[in-house]
Amino acid sequence: MYVADAAGARAADAAAIAAGIPARALMQRAGAGAAAEIARRFSDELGHGILVATGAGNNGGDGWVVASALHAAGIAVRVAECLPAATPDARAEREAAIAAGVATDAARDALSSGPERIAVDAILGTGLRPNTPLEGDVARAVAALATRQRQGTRIVALDVPSGMNADDGRDVGGLRCALTLAFGTLKRCHVVSRAGCGEIVLLDIGLGPHAAAAHGATLATPGWFRASLPAIAADAHKGTRKKVAIVGGAEGMAGAVILAARAALRSGAGLVKCVVAPESLRAVQEAEPAALAAAWSADDAALERDVAGWADAILVGPGLGRANARALVERILRGTRSPIVLDADALNAFAGDAPALAPSLRERQALLTPHPAEFARLAGLGVDAVLERRFSLPAQLAADVAAAVLLKGVPTIVSSRSGDSIVVAEGTPVLATGGAGDLLGGIAVTLLAQTNDAALAGALAAYAHGKAAWLVSARDVRGYTLDDVLLALPVVWSLRAPAPRPPVLAELPAVGEPA
């Protein structure tokens, strides 16, 4: 399952067509799958009928197939032709639908009234050009759908909500869909603009291996998570479950290390040692008695004893502080070839000088876990530039520093040093609070110790982190804390992937409180 830009999605369709699959067959599979999902999810609303708004292109053709399939099942359907069908396949599906008895309404106010509580948006799909406003009949149709949505009609978008750019999620249409049905590949907008897309369902339309032509990142799914998670053997002991060291906790910032330690322990670490400033040692020992603790030392022999020679993997950064951070990170990197996770101030110490990390990281499994502002400092860019290029920049930085890179955000992107990327779209706004990154660091360093694969550990950690937040709440945010996320972590490790439900390939829930 791939997350692609619009050009990549078109390339996947083109590859399937070149291999002998008729374009109209792809359209028919998309529309039939969408109709089945609409009927299943909105069974209580079908008695009021379904309104389908169609545009001129193949997205409109998809809408005509949806209308035909629902009509064949005995559901009242009305098609509002916002623009005349203009492609051969769309015209053919329109003619077939009308011949079958589907009701049509070409009047300009067709979308403004009617008994339907569900409206299908098949106006534009991926057809919106970047940085282009909606105009003419398209603008009026999308505005009418948006008005109906505000009045309580639930909108189902086919492939991409009309007015939303498929590549970056920028939205000029204002639709807030209850459901978006994606065809063949997820589009980048689906994982960036969750509020506009609502629930997201990826449907198989028959691309098969040709979907790889999209050259997109792969999507982290429940099945992938279960298959990739390292098992803990029946005869495991604290040594085989691995030892992790967490270095940070400057004076006044012991909480960051405590959160990371708690996340590591709840992720299956056998032993956790917190190496902190002397002023933070007592706070750490009292707050997390299950973890060992030691103070920073200027003595290399003590550093070897407490960190480099003891740990199977090391996390450096939570609450590290800016003072002398680079010197401490460089001492740790010189003293060991152990797998390592660099986060927070361990990254800020190399602001504008990221390539300096490469000589110390290329001989080990290493993971960098910046949020967008930390990434911007490392790369010498603005935060807006990082967000605009979030799907490509992690792989570039990974190549520059010879390490895996995990760019936090909505979504999280994890890139290996070889350039492969995984998109993790599991987070919720519950994680939009200070300390959430420390939890992620604790999970990641544990999985790094257990897998010895930095990119895999980062992707598994991001998935578990986000899924734990989702278990706390996907929609309600106020009142939840990171303690709730920590308590949910043990449940994540035992979750089973849902049973296959063809033609559904993947599902993403709606997240965030409704506007």
pLDDT tens-digit map of 382-434? 999 999 999 999 999 999 999 999 999 999 999 999 999 999 999 899 999 99
Cα separation values, 338 from 39, 303, 365, 439, Å: 54, 13, 8, 21
Residue 298 pLDDT exceeds 90: no
**For residue 159, how many C-alpha atoms fall within 13 Å in the half-sphere facing its CB?**
35
- Residue in 384, 480, 393, 493 with CA at minimum distance from that of residue 435: 480
Question: When comparing pLDDT for 44 and 297, which is higher?
Answer: 44
Residue 37 pLDDT exceeds 80: yes
CA distance 367 to 341: 5
Contact yes or no for 250/320 (Cβ under 8 A) = yes
Q: What is the pTM of this model?
A: 0.96
Q: What confidence score (pLDDT) does residue 127 get?
A: 85
pLDDT (tens digit per residue) in 204-213: 999 999 999 9
Contact yes or no for 149/198 (Cβ under 8 A) = no
pLDDT band at 477 (very low <50, low <70, confident <90, very high): confident
Give the residue-averaged pLDDT of 185-197.
Answer: 96
CA distance 229 to 223: 10
Q: What confidence score (pLDDT) does residue 304 get?
A: 83
Q: Which CATH class is domain 2-221?
A: alpha beta
Topology of domain 223-228+238-496 in CATH is: UDP-N-acetylmuramoyl-L-alanine:D-glutamate ligase (3.40.1190)
User: Do the domains 223-228+238-496 and 2-221 match in fold?
Assistant: no
Q: What confidence score (pLDDT) does residue 513 get?
A: 84
Q: What confidence score (pLDDT) does residue 38 get?
A: 98
Contact yes or no for 175/138 (Cβ under 8 A) = no
Structure tokens at 312: 């199977």
Cα separation values, 247 from 297, 397, 486, Å: 11, 23, 20
For the chain, what percent of residues have pLDDT higher than 90?
90
- Residue by residue, DSSP assigns 120-154 as EEES-GGGPPTT----HHHHHHHHHHHHHHHTTPE
CA distance 64 to 84: 12
pLDDT (tens digit per residue) in 142-190: 999 999 999 999 999 999 999 999 999 999 999 999 999 999 999 999 9
Per domain, the residue ranges of the chain are: 2-221, 223-228+238-496
Q: What confidence score (pLDDT) does residue 128 get?
A: 87
Residue 458 pLDDT exceeds 90: yes
CA distance 81 to 307: 67
Structure tokens at 465: 């982190």
Give the residue-averaged pLDDT of 228-242.
Answer: 94
pLDDT (tens digit per residue) in 335-373: 889 999 999 999 999 999 999 999 999 989 999 999 999
List the single range of 246-260, 324-338, 379-393, 450-464 with lowest mean pLDDT: 324-338
CA distance 446 to 450: 6
Structure tokens at 38: 């609409």
Mean pLDDT score across all residues of the chain: 95
Cα separation values, 434 from 105, 134, 247, 327, 342, Å: 52, 39, 18, 26, 18
List the single range of 54-68, 351-365, 381-395, 469-483 with lowest mean pLDDT: 469-483
Contact yes or no for 374/342 (Cβ under 8 A) = no
pLDDT band at 305 (very low <50, low <70, confident <90, very high): confident
Exposed/middle/buried for 286, CB within 10 Å: 0-12, 13-18, 19+? exposed
